Amino acid sequence: MYNVAIIGAGPAGIFAALEVTKLRPDWKVILVEKGQKIENRKCPLREGSPKCINCRRCGLLCGWGGAGAFSDGKLTLTPDVGGHLVDYMSRQNAEELIDYSDKLYLDFGATEEVFGTDMKTFQELEHQAVLAELKLVHSPVRHLGTERSLDVLKAMQDYLNERITILNNVSADSLIVECEQVKGIKLSNGETICAEYTIIAPGREGADWLTQEFAKHKIGMVNNAVDVGVRVELPAPVFEPLTSKLYESKLIYHSPTFGDEVRTFCMNPNGEVVQENYSGIATVNGHSYANYKTPNTNFALLVSEKFTEPFKEPIQYGQHIARLANMLGGGILVQRFGDLLDGRRSTPERIKASVITPTLTCATPGDLSLVIPYRQMTSIKEMLFALDKVAPGTASRYTLLYGIEVKFYSARVKLTNELETEGVKNLFAIGDGAGVTRGLIQASASGVHVARTICSRG
Ligand SMILES: Cc1cc2nc3c(=O)[nH]c(=O)nc-3n(C[C@H](O)[C@H](O)[C@H](O)COP(=O)(O)OP(=O)(O)OC[C@H]3O[C@@H](n4cnc5c(N)ncnc54)[C@H](O)[C@@H]3O)c2cc1C
């Protein structure tokens, strides 16, 4: 019998484990992760395979460190970005949790430098953004870089390995619930784990599983917005005035035609565009390295849609659009902005005749207007023209758009302020999979929050 069982070794699950072991070193804790240990995680695409081979468990997203492991570890140190923690607690409490989690990253070897703390520079840029009808969000960033991020996660794995039971390559298949109280989990290897408390942290990759499991136990879910868009890649000098000062600029725009919110997300100065695989669907993302620089900068442009009754399947909606892009391009599509405006597909020749070389070489030149709905496409175009005012060159005909990028954090679990499910006692849901967070630091902080709650109950 364990005191605590944790599902998923992403930042949310790891930080829950770190905090429980700190507060209750005498407790028995088990962490179940369906992917590999950090040192065994592999992505054939990262190792030179020309195409994503649709691994059964995507090495980029699954395994110790979760989706964050191969990310370039940008810790966005504000409750305004990367999650909804302030919906469950006071802003002050969320800030304290973020600060505490940030310090834990430092204890395990994170870099000291934080970008975006100079308020005078921020206000100057904010002023320029306002003139282009854009809102610049203040978000200091600690940038680890992918290599450092892996080292930090390895240090956490080594630390926890001596204190808790960690199962790799085993997934949680189902929850055991009796008399409206969780009793443990059934694993894919046939084992049953009995535990007083269960924390579910399966990330976006496990969001579908979580939704199905919670439906079985009649745990309420509310529709989140679904974010669909593209990854933009352009020459690094175009965004250099912003990235050199802030590293990542979070810009929000309301498109004139539809009034939808469009935002920049996950900006990677001198980074590269990558392909990821969500349950067999190829989608696009990006990251950057601390010690290896490309001449390009990339970021996502995401359009948020919140559906109203009777539609209840935002995850499927996002998947459907991604599948369409996969169908046309055999994976990821890439198109020059100029070709999109001219109503023609990009071709390998047109891509070659550009001032920018794509970093995701396996993307197929094509036509995104055949894939992305008119509403989102219009908002993306309008945002690119608005960005062009603060970073001239953004709306260049050479700017590359990769599709599609979609964020499947759509279903949000109905939770108490302690992040315990409404209806099943002692069951907690945290991180991106529960729809509570959207980024590393808030996912980590959500883990600390539930660990403190559980430990205070004794
Ligand atoms: C390429 C990329 C770059 C990113 N860059 C940044 C960034 O710079 N800054 C930032 O703040 N955020 C970034 N993110 C987002 C960030 O990684 C996530 O917000 C964060 O990892 C969410 O943490 P989590 O613990 O909730 O889930 P995850 O990190 O997704 O971890 C969930 C884990 O649970 C496991 N799992 C799922 N289902 C089961 C099951 N049934 N049984 C057992 N295990 C299961 C999965 O294998 C996975 O390892 C990036 C994401 C990607 C993909």
Q: Tell me the pLDDT tens digit for each residue of 346-383.
A: 999 999 999 999 999 999 999 999 999 999 999 999 99
**Hey, CA dihedral for 97, 126, 242, 133, is it positive or negative?**
positive
Q: Does any domain span residue 129?
A: no
User: Do 350 and 390 reside in the same domain of the chain?
Assistant: yes
User: Do 174 and 54 reside in the same domain of the chain?
Assistant: yes
Ligand 1-lining residues (CB < 6 angstroms):
7-13, 32-35, 62-63, 66-68, 71-74, 76, 82, 171-172, 201-206, 209, 266, 274, 276, 285, 287, 431-433, 438-441, 443
pLDDT(161) > 60: yes
Round to whole Å and give the CA distance between 189 and 177. Answer: 19
Give the domain-ending residue among 384, 407, 430. Answer: 407
User: Do 234 and 209 reside in the same domain of the chain?
Assistant: no
User: Do 341 and 428 reside in the same domain of the chain?
Assistant: no
- Of 23-37, 247-261, 308-322, 329-343, the range with the lowest mean pLDDT is 308-322
User: Do 150 and 19 reside in the same domain of the chain?
Assistant: yes
User: Do 257 and 330 reside in the same domain of the chain?
Assistant: yes
pLDDT of residue 412: 84
User: Do 305 and 439 reside in the same domain of the chain?
Assistant: no
Among the listed residues 456, 436, 35, the one whose alpha carbon sits nearest the alpha carbon of residue 200 = 436
Give 11-35 pLDDT, tens digit per residue: 999 999 999 999 999 999 999 999 9
Q: Does any domain span residue 130?
A: no
Round to whole Å and give the CA distance between 25 and 204. Answer: 30
Q: Does any domain span residue 127?
A: no
User: Do 248 and 368 reside in the same domain of the chain?
Assistant: yes
CATH number of the domain at 168, please.
3.50.50.60
Q: Answer with the residue of higher pLDDT: 309 or 325.
A: 325
CA 75 / ligand 1 centre spacing (Å): 13
CA 258 / ligand 1 centre spacing (Å): 31
Q: Whose CA is nearest to atom 12 of ligand 1?
A: 439
| 193: β partners | 185
Relative to beta strand 114-115, strand 74-76 is: unpaired
Q: Does any domain span residue 243?
A: yes
Give 420-436 pLDDT, tens digit per residue: 999 899 999 999 999 99
| 277: β partners | 282
User: Do 191 and 316 reside in the same domain of the chain?
Assistant: no
CA 407 / ligand 1 centre spacing (Å): 12
pLDDT(160) > 80: yes
How many domains, the chain? 2
pLDDT of residue 419: 97
Tell me the whole-structure pTM to 2 decimals. 0.83
Give the domain-ending residue among 367, 391, 407. Answer: 407
User: Do 262 and 336 reside in the same domain of the chain?
Assistant: yes
> What domain range is 177 assigned to?
2-116+140-222+413-457
Q: Does any domain span residue 122?
A: no
For 9, the token pair is: 């070794």
**Average per-residue pLDDT in the chain?**
93
User: Do 417 and 430 reside in the same domain of the chain?
Assistant: yes
